[in-house]
Structure 1
Amino acid sequence: MSKRTLVIGASENPARYSNKAIHALRRNQHEVVALAKRKGLVNDVAIETAFPEKEDIHTVTLYVGPQHQPEYYTNIIDLNPQRVIFNPGTENQEFAEKLEANGIEAEEACTLVLLSIGAY
């Protein structure tokens, strides 16, 4: 089953984990919405600079550090995804608590690992 995923901190750079995650998500038949400060393209996924409006997003996966996350708090909570994945280096207790208080699962995990073990 496809889980529409919003990748925040997407990058065209193949060495970046957000780029690897987009490729892995597409290989696993998941629809991807990508967001970054700069427009671009990864595989068949356009990187947008405007936060998506009222999209049906199942999972948000973060590739931006905690210092850059506050600007996304309200938008992510308003999207009401089932879960937000805090990839290594993005852990943020304050935001995790806000998500949980709004009924959104906050998971500290690696998107690439979850995909590779079939636990996504």
Structure 2
Amino acid sequence: MSKKTLVLGASLKTDRYSNIAINRLRQQNHEVVAFGLRQGEVNDVSIDTDLHNYEDIDTITLYLNPKHQEAYYDYILDLKPRRVIFNPGTENQELYKILKDNNIEFEVACTLVLLATDQY
């Protein structure tokens, strides 16, 4: 089953985990939208540099370090995702509490591992 995913912190650089995640998500036929600092394409996914009000986001997978996440708290809440995945290096106690208070699931995990082990 496809889970529409927002990759928040997407990169055009092929060695970045966010880039690899976009490719793996698409290989497994998940619908993907992406936001990053530089516009471009990864696989068949356009990286947006403007925040869009995407609809029906199941999962947000974070690739932003905690000090850069604060600017996106309201945006994340407004999208009303089912869950947020905190990839290694993105762990953020403050955002965990905000998500919990808003009944949004979260997990500290690696999107690539979840995909590889059929736990996504």
Q: Structure 2 length normalisation: TM-score?
A: 0.98
Does structure 1 residue 36 correspond to structure 2 residue 19? no
For residue 87 of structure 1, what is the aligned residue in structure 2? 87
| Structure-1-length-normalised TM-score | 0.98
The one-character-per-residue Cα deviations of 1:36-91 (angstroms, maximum 9, x if unpaired) are 11111101000001112141100000001000000110010111100000000000
In angstroms, what is the RMSD of aligned CA positions? 0.7
Q: Flag as ranges the 4+ runs of structure 1 deviating above 2 A.
A: none
Quick one: percent identity of the two aligned structures? 59
> What is the aligned partner in structure 1 of residue 108 from structure 2?
108
Cα distance in 1 for partners of 2:40, 2:8 equals: 13
Q: Distance in 1 between the 2:74 and 2:44 partners?
A: 28
- How far residue 14 of structure 1 moved from its aligned partner, in angstroms, is 0.7
**Corresponding position: 1:20 with 2:36:** no
Match of 1:73 in 2: 73
5+ long unaligned stretches in structure 2:
none
